[in-house]
Structure 1
Amino acid sequence: MLKNLVLALCLGGLSLSACAVQNEPAAAATAAVTPAVREMVQKAIRSLAPNINVDVIEPAPMPGFYQVIASGQMLYISADGKYMMHGDLIDLGRKQNASDDAWARFRKAELAKVPESERIVYAPANPKYTISVFTDVNCGFCRALHEHIADFNKEGIAVEYLAWPREGLVTTAGGPTPTYTEMVSVWCAKDRKAAFTAAKQGRPPAPTTCVNPVKDQFNLGVRLGVNGTPAIYGPDGRTLGGYVTPEQLLQALKQGG
């Protein structure tokens, strides 16, 4: 994985989070993203990890660099292709994470491609907000979050779940992980919502299989930077946290506009 490779090359990183929206244009000192730039960036990244998929390349907020999202990681590549930085870019003047906007745009666009029919949805009649939640049926915090589902709906929040088995898809022996198998059974159940809630309560469904989106949703989560569950994203693609109470979630959504 690119993450492990990059971390092995870097001494460390600074990680901060911020709620404020930053809409400043990218630094003009970095050239536009031409086909030649794309080739340079991909060559630079693949010199370290040949099989990495590059999702986004755009001018960085700082001069002389391009901002790149690749395999769930935020990278910064110098315009001459000689240097790479990994992690968040902090605007010290504003005390904000300057990487948040790029992540939000990417997540919003990618999540919009997932049909509602492939999600497990709990929604009030006329939702004020809709959130996307990557979840694992056996995760303690995910179970605690789901206990508040009626309260979320009462506050006008629609919750749309996507599958993200924390164990991954395949065991070291090569077979499917137990959680992946269970989540496939949930998504293949006649009544998904009933099977989902029962699994959250420790009552897994009868094993079954069908054409299902669990693998695709897990891989999507990896591309979006999910590294734990629950992972909650607002309608604008911004991260709203992991386990939160209905009051905390509503406040975060109001702050995001």
Structure 2
Amino acid sequence: MIGMVTTAAIAETPQEANVKKLMEPRLGDGVKVDQVTKTPYLGMFEVRVGKDIFYTDAQAKYMFVGRILDADSSRDFTKERMDEISKVKFSDLPLDQAIKVVKGNGKRVIAVFEDPNCGYCKKFRKTLQEVDNTTVYTFMYNILAPDSSIKSKNVWCSADRHKAWDDWMINGKIPATAASSCVDTPNDKVLALGQKLNVTGTPTIIFTDGSRIPGFIDAKALEAKFATVK
């Protein structure tokens, strides 16, 4: 069985630096390689560009784009690295730009990026109704339709943001039009935040350990995930 080593905080070796030097000109268009790490399998080197990972040999002559799996256990080493790279420092999230709701003791905390026109987000709101003892921060992330930002603004300007959001997402009740005096909304900031965190779809659920789940999950899957978060 192949074991993967963690490379965070390990200085770049001369061999890794050389692979990086060789690889960058071959990527073209001024692309910069963020990190090169020698893997414990097949003499390959992991090359990270932003949130993307691929593999190459010591001479950077060949490139392999795909997943590395353990043939015995089916452990997906590439997915593990992608999950590690995509982790979010939860304490750095600007929670004042999100809608907050607490259920029960509120000990299980998540942040969710949702678009008001997202069907799977609406399904996930129903999932949240089935799960207790949570604190949910909802970032209205307007990426799906031209009127997404208008709906989000109307919700944000409501007297009860959480009720207005759930009324729309669960019950299909259109939020009242925002007063002309309500101009201070976090729409642009949340959009920039999601882009910075590479949130490419909705819903995207972020947990306090920094891990994320892109897409809809049901109550059973959410409970199972909560059980793994320390």
Residue aligning to 1:231 = 204
Q: Which runs of 5+ in 2 are unaligned?
A: none
1:140-219 pair list within 5 angstroms:
140-152=119-131, 154=132, 156-167=133-144, 177-187=146-156, 191-200=160-169, 201-206=172-177, 209-210=183-184, 212=186, 213-219=189-195
The alignment covers a number of residue pairs equal to 219
- 2:46 and 2:55 in contact (8 A); partners too: yes
Contact 2:110 2:208 in 1 (8 A): yes
Q: State the structure with more CA Rg.
A: 2
C-alpha RMSD over aligned residues: 3.8
How far, CA to CA, are the matches of 1:23 and 1:120 in structure 2? 42
Structure 1 CA distance for aligned equivalents of residues 87 and 38 of structure 2 = 19
Which amino acid counterpart does residue 65 of structure 2 have in structure 1? H
Q: Which of residues 84, 90, 114 is equivalent to 2:63?
A: 84
**2:222 equivalent to 1:246:** no
SS in 1 for 2:92: coil
User: Is the alpha carbon distance of 1:33 and 1:162 closer, same or farther for their aligned partners in structure 2, counting shifts above 3 Å?
Assistant: farther
Letter paired with 2:62: Y
Unaligned runs of 5+ in 1: 1-21, 169-176
Cα distance in structure 2, aligned partners of 1:26 and 1:86? 20
Q: Counterparts of 2:90 and 2:37 in 1: how far apart (Å)?
A: 20
Distance 1:96 1:82, change over 3 A: same
Q: Which moved more, 1:72-81 or 1:33-42?
A: 33-42
Shifted more, 39-48 versus 234-243: the winner is 39-48
Deviations 1:33-72 (A, max 9, x none): 26995696487357546376766654445333124152x4
Percent of paired sites with the same residue? 21
- What is the distance in 2 between the residues matched to 1:227 and 1:235? 20
TM-score of the superposed pair, with normalisation by structure 1: 0.65
Q: TM-score, normalised by structure 2?
A: 0.71
Moved more, 54-63 or 195-204: 54-63
SS at match of 1:104: helix
